[in-house]
Structure 1
Amino acid sequence: MRSKDRIAYFYDGDVGSVYFGPNHPMKPHRLCMTHHLVLSYDLHKKMEIYRPHKAYPVELAQFHSSDYVDFLHRITPDTQHLFSNELAKFNLGEDCPVFENLFEFCQIYAGGTIDAARRLNNQVCDIAINWAGGLHHAKKCEASGFCYINDLVLGILELLKHHPRVLYIDIDVHHGDGVEEAFYFTDRVMTVSFHKYGDMFFPGTGDVKETGEREGKFYAINVPLKDGIDDTSFTRLFKSIISKVVETYVPGAIVLQCGADSLAGDRLGCFNLSIDGHAECVRFVKKFNLPLLVTGGGGYTKENVARCWAVETGVLLDTELPNEIPENEYIKYFGPEYSLRIPNGHIENLNSKSYLGTIKMQVFENLRCIQHAPGVQMQEVPPDFYIPDFDEDEQNPDERMDQHTQDKHIQRDDEYYEGDHDNDQNMEDV
């Protein structure tokens, strides 16, 4: 048992100020609300807080095609009328609109997940949190489901430099299709997604029979669920499957996507999970004491998203949060009760015991097909790719400044680690 987990938390106030447009369900503002809850509960005093670097185009192109990255870099709301062919080709439109500061938004949330993975690799923390990340639908050459850059894939690629096997777990209500697709042909990443499946529910993939191909055969695990699943049935299934996965696969690190649209009452979801049920999954994964990268994801009832991720930050810090929400800049959003708990959902649970039993049996059957702790040829670990981008103007931390300015001065995660001095000679990562 580790004596006390060292936690790195990544946040940049600028992610919360972008706007997808009127009537769009994705509200990055939920990230500011989450951060202010974290501050109001004094959780920031128990963690190392970092402002992520903005991921460079060449870093994003470690997974995404360079013409797609270049397009995201160039497109703006004012010029999009000139790019109708590219908009169609790269799937930008109603679900994935072009908005002000789109590329910078991608750079910040992807930079947070990449930095989180690097800190874990360098063993300067045990758990790294980036609530702005978790955009699991983005594909190599296209945007999808409100996601433009797949930060999870980039974070996993980073972890693979130091770990032969990485386990990816996804508890968003939607299937983690972009991450699964990226690693569908390899045994070095096992993807496990618990999600709603059927009734034309987005993205339409994630059947239990989709298990990976070639070297990746049986290394993609899908747990398709029906409407209304509750805490008891979800956490029981989650614990038994994840226990068996960890025992069989023996990962060196875990990436956990905590999409909060699986909560009861979500604007786009259809499950009945309470925040305690959702957080129980986080608590369970933490107990494996493996390097752990935790991200956000979906979540469209923003006050509940903020509640959930604040509670889960507490779980990762072994800190129980009082139910009464302390005074903070966004307190009005949490009325009239001003409490962390949310009411239970009333959607009928269509997941019968026999249905869940069958799914579990199929998953266990697939796990039996893989060899115990698959052997991976370890190559020499390439050095971190990093273009120094220092801003060393240290401000006096005691000066009074507004919250947005404070967020801008959260420590940059640009410091070099031991053995990193030859970084700039290497332009390729993976």
Structure 2
Amino acid sequence: MNINRIIYIYKKSLVQECNRLPGMPKRASMVQDLINSYNLLLDDRFLVVQSADATDNELKSFHSTAYIEYLKNVGKTDSGATEDPEYFGLTDECPVLPNNDVLVKIIAGGSISAAKLLVAKKCNIAINWFGGWHHAQRDSAEGFCYVNDVVLAIQILRKSFERILYVDLDIHHGNGVQNAFEYSNKILTLSFHQKTAGFYPGTGGLEDIGCGEGKYYSVNVPFLEGIGHENYTKVFKEVFKCVLASFPAKAIVVQCGADGLNGDPIGRCNLTLETYGDCVKEILKCDLPTLFLGGGGYNFANASRLWTYLTAVIANIHLDNDIPDESEYFPEYGPSYELEIPQGLQKDMNSKAYIEDILNAIKSHCTYLK
């Protein structure tokens, strides 16, 4: 393999399992279809690699044995599974599905496979838009996430890279990843998200900085409602620069949740493709082994637009703004039928004073990093 080629993780069953996730019917198929419609993966800069399913031992490198064994048995006749599904977080957002154990092995396998390729120095950049399930906890499902593929991938990367920077661009706090590494000073979790009354998951305040040896290695950027392009990119660039200066990472994992985009029914914020693109370009300047993952995104057409656009940004390819009419899902991109997502009219509640307070607090925070 040529290390300069960008590895793109894909497998038919990986897309199919992501389509089975609650609230996500056909999203993964739409993402892959739009990338294919632009013929991106035919470019010599990409190498498509089929993922391998995760093993039980790989799942248990983070998740508890009790949780993984329960997923194997729940819903099966005479399984011996006696615990209430709610004990393991299998409720309305994460209901018991047929073959839950198969689902988690295939979904986790995508990001684990990508991480293994980075560790083996088969590439410097790997992409898995079908990963990024950052809410799952050690012993329970949470927030549409049955398995925390992000943590599992980082566990693989730790074998070769001493310091890993995790950057979370999802509009929801990456609580599962932070909780997994809150005692570590080798993995720094940096999450940009909305934190307002009643907004899930309710964690990730400025004061949420990690514990024990990991104190100060959790960095949270809590935005108020309606965050837009100008404030987001200003904060990202200053915070990212500050964190990197204090924490010399050897590898980066980026969760690119699309739910901060204008038009998302859950995120309800005001970001654009360019917002995410500007952040990704800053990350690419580091020239470090990097894993890009998907995440949230509940306007499926916009999530497809974003991850297609970022695939092109990562490879420095220009895309036509007109959605290719070869796309199987072309009607879903109306009424504009364009790639671009303009900002909306939402008011950005993040005042200049609030933004400066965030920046000052995090700059002070970074002085404690070693």
- TM-score band (shorter)? over 0.9
Partner-residue secondary structure (3-state), 2:253:
strand
Q: Is 1:273 matched with 2:271? A: yes
Query: CA–CA distance in 2 between the matches of 1:212 and 1:98?
Result: 32
* Counterpart pick for 1:108 among 106, 109, 112: 106
Q: What is the CA–CA distance in structure 1 between the aligned matches of 2:42 and 2:73, rounded to whole Å? A: 39
| Alpha-carbon distance in 2 for matches of 1:337, 1:82 | 53
Q: Secondary structure at the match of 1:52?
A: coil
Shift of 1:218: 0.5
* Structure 1: distance between partners of 2:282 and 2:157: 21
Question: Cα deviation per residue 1:53-111 (whole Å; 9 max; x = unaligned)?
Answer: 111111100100011011112224x7699857330210101011122343222212211
Aligned residues: 365
2:253 is matched with which residue?
Answer: 255
Rounded Cα–Cα distance in structure 1 between residues aligned with 2:187 and 2:10 = 27
Q: CA deviation at 1:5?
A: 3.8
Counterpart of 1:131 in structure 2: which amino acid?
Answer: W
Check 1:79–1:177 CA distance in 2 against 1; reply closer, same or farther (3 A cut): farther
Q: Tell me the equivalent position of 1:53.
A: 52
Aligned counterparts of 2:365 and 2:342: Cα–Cα separation in 1 = 37
Deviates more, 1:84-93 or 1:207-216: 84-93
Which runs of 5 or more residues in structure 1 are unaligned?
A: 372-430
Q: Structure 1 residues 309-318 or 29-38, which shifts more?
A: 29-38
**Equivalence for 1:162:** 160
- Corresponding residue for 2:69? 70
Task: Say whether the 8 Å CA contact 2:178–2:218 is kept in structure 1.
Answer: yes
Task: For 1:31, give the aligned amino acid.
Answer: A
- Distance in 1 between the 2:323 and 2:111 partners? 28
Is contact 1:52-1:111 (8 Å) kept? yes
SS of the residue 2:83 aligns to? helix
- Separation in 1, partners of 2:82, 2:329: 39
Could you state the TM-score of these two structures normalised by the residue count of structure 1?
0.82
CA distance in 1, matches of 2:78, 2:214: 39
Task: Kindly indicate whether residue 210 of structure 2 is the aligned counterpart of residue 212 of structure 1.
Answer: yes
Bigger drift between 277-286 and 162-171 goes to: 277-286
* Cα distance between partner residues in 1 of 2:332 and 2:15: 15
Superposition pairs for residues 243-392 of structure 1, below 5 Å? Answer: 243-326=241-324, 327-371=326-370
Matched position secondary structure for 2:193: strand
Deviation string for 1:269-306 (max 9, x for gaps)? 02100111122211211111000000000100101000
Q: 1:237 to 1:131 in 2, by over 3 A?
A: same
Matches within 5 A, 1:21-40: 24=22, 26-40=23-37
SS at match of 2:202: coil
Task: Call closer, same or farther: CA 1:27–1:80 in 2, change over 3 Å.
Answer: farther
Aligned to 1:148: 146
The answer to whether the Cα contact below 8 Å between 1:16 and 1:28 also exists between their aligned partners in 2 is no
Give, as a single letter, the amino acid of the residue that structure 2 aligns with 1:342. Answer: I
Two-structure CA RMSD over aligned residues (Å): 1.9
Local SS of the residue matching 2:259? helix
